[in-house]
């Protein structure tokens, strides 16, 4: 693959603060150490530099991006750059008036996360009573004429509710439903024994989603993301390291994925200290896993290496201790037994919950 | 919600609320952007999408493009436009304009 890397999407993690405490949060476990160091002007400069590099999609996320009181000028600045701006939110805290202001500023899409189809199920996962409020926010989104994405992270406690999830999304007139199985990194890895489903659950839910996709074609896009623990093939994580995505953290680190700063031995630059173009092209962290030179066997001679790019570096590191290892999700990986053992554990799950908290242990 | 209707010559397609067209200077192509995704449009596809305003029927769109892409036969243009529009409708990127 000699195709020149081009970032199409900027994932702007505006803050790691969040009222919810979801057990599968994708923020790093030491999130509380990373403050909101980038101000409004910093972010607007990041947006400009990203657009100049080729970015056309902007995900405003966190944490909870609504906790930033400068969200309106950020959306307005993004729209001036003709970026497609997607607000990825828990819906808490939001008023209808503020949502109307965000729409007026040029917001293109709102993605609301929903944890389950009941208030109790949602509260158990989010550690926060917010189910009814989320539904209200989703209805405001549609009432204001904004497109709505409903995102539901799937795991063993809600996979059996996928039919009800789809019905809920239909009743909200969602334009897009993301049924995204949990990725077992960070908080989700710590909670894996509680979250990892059985293969039977997964197969049943996938079939329900497939039928709904057919039935709803042209009206609601139904996306089902299979967990790589059950595919025996690694996923093309971020479409390949440093190929399509730029992630900027609340404190300004520029990363190829949202967990890259949990890998030891890599150096990443800060958007406040170096132009984005230089970081994208030259920073050691971005170069580390581009191309194929870093790959071990069996990846290096595998015909799928240009499809999956060797899988997820963060998963390789957090399961094996070696970020250059073949992703254990691959059935050809030397460490694939780790995945098989986790699947076996899914027959004897834990109900113990570790909520996201600022007092977590270091690392991971 | 009703089932999506089949597009006909009288349909008046309109770009869905979730999709937005923008010019991409790097590829010298129009992009049709929607949540988390985007399509790189060839010039003909971009011409079609730019006419999906709800003001033009499919027949209008075909007429205009047949003029622009003469001497291609109108039937060829019509087939290509319909195939493209049905594909876009299946993806929820265009809808029929309702009064």
Banded model confidence at residue B1, pLDDT cuts 50, 70, 90: very low
In this complex, do B24 and A56 lie within 8 Å of one another by their Cβ atoms?
yes
DSSP-assigned beta bridge partners for residue A179: A152, A224
Any alpha helices (H) in chain A, and if so which ranges? 40-53, 71-80, 96-105, 119-126, 131-143, 162-171, 186-190, 192-195, 199-215, 276-282, 284-287, 305-308, 313-320, 336-345
Nearest CA in chain B to A150: B35
Please report residues of A whose CB lies closer than 8 A to that of B24: 56
Q: How far apart are CA B99 and CA B91, in angstroms?
A: 22
B76: closest CA of chain A, how far (Å): 25
Nearest CA in chain B to A53: B26
Q: Which residues of A289-320 are buried (b: 16+ CB within 10 A; e: fewer)?
A: bbeeebbeeebeebebbeebbbbbbbbbbbbb
Least CB–CB distance from B35: residue in A173, A176, A217: A176
Please report residues of B whose CB lies closer than 8 A to that of A218: 4, 89-92
For chain A, what is the largest distance between any 2 Cα atoms, rounded to a whole number of angstroms?
Answer: 56
Q: What is the dihedral of CA A354, A323, A238, A146, to 10 degrees?
A: 20
Contacts (Cβ under 8 Å, ≥6 apart) of A48: A81
Best mutation site among B30, B36, B39 for testing chain A: the one with the most A CBs within 10 Å?
B36
Tokens of B81: 């436009």
Query: Could you say which residues of chain A have pLDDT below 70?
Result: 1-2, 360-364
Distance of CA B17 to the CA centre of its chain: 14
Task: Give SS3 for A50.
Answer: helix
B43: closest CA of chain A, how far (Å): 19
Tokens of A294: 């870093």
ipTM of model: 0.91
Q: How far is CA A316 from CA A185, A306, B55, in A?
A: 10, 18, 53
Q: How far apart are CA A22 and CA A62, in angstroms?
A: 13
Q: Kindly calculate the radius of gyration of chain B based on its CA atoms and give it in whole angstroms.
A: 13
Residue A154 has, within 13 A of its CA and on its CB side, a CA count of 29
The pLDDT assigned to A360 comes to 54
Q: How far apart are CA A249 and CA A38, in angstroms?
A: 9
Nearest CA in chain A to B36: A57
Asked if residues A318 and A185 have their Cβ atoms less than 8 Å apart, the reply is yes
Contacts (Cβ under 8 Å, ≥6 apart) of B98: none
Tokens of A190: 């710590």
Nearest CA in chain B to A107: B18
pLDDT digits (tens, 9 = 90+) for B31-44: 999 999 999 999 99
Asked if residues A21 and A126 have their Cβ atoms less than 8 Å apart, the reply is yes
Asked if residues A316 and A324 have their Cβ atoms less than 8 Å apart, the reply is yes
The pLDDT assigned to B3 comes to 46
B37: closest CA of chain A, how far (Å): 8
A345: closest CA of chain B, how far (Å): 34
pLDDT digits (tens, 9 = 90+) for A190-216: 999 999 999 999 999 999 999 999 999
In this complex, do A56 and B36 lie within 8 Å of one another by their Cβ atoms?
no
Asked if residues A314 and A261 have their Cβ atoms less than 8 Å apart, the reply is no
Please report residues of B whose CB lies closer than 8 A to that of A149: 35
Q: How far apart are CA A261 and CA A146, in angstroms?
A: 34
The pLDDT assigned to A363 comes to 44
A343: closest CA of chain B, how far (Å): 30
Asked if residues B7 and B58 have their Cβ atoms less than 8 Å apart, the reply is yes
Give rounded-to-5 percent helix, strand, coil for chain A: 40, 15, 50
Whether residue B9 has pLDDT greater than 50: yes
Least CB–CB distance from B18: residue in A8, A9, A109: A109
State mean pLDDT over B49-57.
Answer: 97
């Amino acid at each position: 693959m000699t195709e020149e890397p081009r970032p199409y999407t900027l994932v702007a993690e505006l803050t790691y603060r969040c009222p919810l405490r979801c057990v599968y949060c994708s923020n790093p476990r030491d999130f509380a150490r990373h403050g909101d160091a980038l101000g409004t002007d910093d972010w607007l400069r990041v947006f400009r530099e990203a657009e100049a590099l080729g970015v056309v999609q902007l995900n405003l996320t966190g944490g909870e991006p609504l906790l930033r009181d400068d969200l309106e000028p950020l959306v307005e600045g993004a729209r001036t750059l003709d970026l497609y701006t997607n607000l990825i939110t828990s819906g808490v805290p939001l008023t209808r008036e503020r949502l109307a202001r965000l729409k007026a500023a040029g917001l293109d899409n709102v993605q609301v996360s929903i944890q389950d189809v009941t208030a109790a199920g949602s509260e158990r996962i989010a550690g926060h009573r917010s189910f009814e409020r989320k539904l209200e926010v989703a209805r405001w989104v549609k009432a204001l004429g904004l497109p709505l994405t409903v995102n539901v992270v799937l795991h063993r406690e809600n996979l059996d509710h996928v039919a009800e999830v789809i019905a809920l999304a239909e009743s909200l007139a969602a334009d897009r439903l993301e049924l995204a199985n949990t990725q077992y990194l960070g908080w989700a890895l710590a909670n894996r024994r509680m979250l990892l489903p059985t293969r039977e659950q997964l197969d049943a839910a996938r079939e329900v989603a497939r039928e709904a996709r057919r039935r709803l074609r042209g009206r609601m896009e139904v996306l089902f993301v299979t967990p790589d623990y059950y595919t025996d093939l690694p996923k093309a994580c971020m479409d390949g390291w440093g190929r399509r995505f730029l992630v900027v953290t609340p404190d300004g680190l520029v990363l190829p994925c949202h967990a890259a700063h949990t890998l030891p031995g890599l150096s990443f630059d800060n958007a406040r200290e170096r132009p984005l173009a230089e970081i994208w092209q030259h920073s050691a962290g971005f170069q580390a896993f581009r191309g194929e030179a870093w790959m071990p066997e069996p990846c290096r001679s595998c015909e799928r290496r240009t499809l999956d790019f060797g899988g997820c570096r963060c998963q390789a590191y957090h399961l094996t201790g070696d970020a250059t290892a073949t992703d254990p999700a691959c059935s050809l990986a030397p460490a694939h037994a780790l995945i098989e053992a986790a699947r076996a554990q899914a027959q004897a799950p834990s109900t113990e919950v570790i909520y996201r908290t600022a007092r977590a242990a270091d690392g991971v | 919600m009703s089932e999506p209707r089949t597009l006909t010559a009288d349909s008046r397609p309109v770009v869905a609320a979730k999709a937005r067209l923008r010019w991409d200077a790097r590829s010298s192509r129009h992009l049709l952007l929607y949540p988390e995704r985007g399509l790189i449009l060839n010039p003909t596809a971009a011409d079609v999408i730019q006419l999906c305003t709800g003001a033009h029927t499919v027949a209008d769109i075909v007429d205009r493009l047949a003029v622009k892409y003469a001497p291609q036969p109108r039937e060829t243009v019509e087939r290509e436009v319909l195939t493209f529009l049905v594909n876009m409708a299946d993806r929820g990127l265009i809808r029929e304009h309702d009064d």
